[in-house]
Amino acid sequence: VANIYDKEVILYIASLMATKIENGEEVSQNFVFTANDFFRVTGATPSANAYTRLYEALERLQSTQIKTDIETGGEGEAGFFSWVETARLQYTKTRTGERRLKAVNVRLCDWLFRAILKDRSVMQYAPSYFQLSPINRRLYEVACFLRFSGVTSIRLGDLQHQIGH
C-alpha cells in the first residue's frame, strides 16, 4: 500500500506537469526524469538505498488500488485506479555488470492527470516539505487545506481526526 513517502513521487511529477503548463508546453500523462533530479528536489542523498526506495515507491504507487466514485474536470466515474498506470526504470550495464539507472518513465493514471490538468488541483508545497517528519507533513497538508478552504480555526479533536491519530 502506498505511504506518505511515496507521495513525494506524485508531488514531484505534479510539479513537473505544473511547470510545463505554466510555460505553455504540451503535457501528456507520460513523464521521464532522472533519479538524480528527483533526489535533488526531494532532498534525498543518492545512494543504493535511495534508488531502492524510489523503485519500491513506484511499485506501491502502481499496485495500490483505489476504489472510488469521483468527479474531476467535469467528468465522473466509478471504478478502480492506481496512482500510476505504469512505471519503468531504464538502465545501462557497466562492464562489470552493474546496473546504472538512466531514466525513470512514469505514466499517471487518467484520474490524477485530469485532476492536475483540468481542475488544477495541485497544492503548492514549500521545498522544505520534503525534510518534514510524517506527522509534520500531515499537519502542513491540513493547514494548507484549511487555509485554501477559508477556515480560520479548528477544534483540537477535529485536527486530531484529520491527522489520523
Cell reading at 42: 526531494
The 8-class DSSP code of residue 27 comes to -
pLDDT by 10-residue block (mean), the chain, 165 residues: 88 88 93 94 90 95 89 80 94 89 94 80 69 82 77 78 68
pTM of the model: 0.77
Q: Report if residue 19 sits inside a domain.
A: yes
Total number of domains in the chain: 2
Q: Which helix (H) or strand (E) holds 45?
A: none
Residue 2 lies in a domain: no
CATH code: domain of residue 35: 1.10.10.10
Distance CA 153, CA 146 (A): 8
Cβ pair 64, 7 in contact under 8 A: no
Q: Structural domain of residue 165, as residue ranges?
A: 132-165
